[in-house]
Amino acid sequence: MSQETKPKAPLSIEGAIILPYRYAAGGVMSRFLIALRDSKKTLGIRCSRCNMVYVPPRETCLHCFGRMDEWVELEGSGTVESYTVVRYSLPVHPMAAPFAFALIKLDGADTSLTHLLGEIDLEKIKVGMKVEPVYSESRKASILDISYFRPAN
């Protein structure tokens, strides 16, 4: 590569894709989202063979492939299992940077939920910290009906 074509800095190209879409949430996810919207309840689903509780719920167990239909209501609080701090903003982000995404294992669940952390000093996030949900005032049957999780007292 000649010196004239060798980039001195990474090239950034502006673009925009507008892609409205709609998909069916399915019976299991619909029940989960409606409970969140209408009652601020967090539902999980238990595999009767493995005893695993999934949040968000799914129809089929990842371990035994059995169909699940045993619903459990969780408190909604949980523990940060992992996290990342996002330091740049994109139009698709649910909040302005800087902010943190976390894997949160809800109390009573065996799987983790990916969600936002809020009301928190980003430099003080710790794996293992207890968090609780903060619900949106205008809920729309979306996972963002939980606005974010904040440190629990």
> Which residues form the interface with Zn ion (CB under 5 A)?
47, 49-50, 61, 63-64, 66
Least Å distance, CB 78 to Zn ion, is 21
Peptide bond into 56 cis (omega under 30): yes
Q: How far apart are CA 64 and CA 31, in angstroms?
A: 23
- Residue whose CB is less far from Zn ion, 25 or 64: 64
- Residue whose CB is less far from Zn ion, 36 or 53: 53
Q: How far apart are CA 89 and CA 38, in angstroms?
A: 31
- Residue whose CB is less far from Zn ion, 68 or 113: 68
Least Å distance, CB 65 to Zn ion, is 7
Least Å distance, CB 113 to Zn ion, is 19
CA dist list (Å): 6 to 1, 9, 35, 78, 128: 6, 9, 56, 50, 46
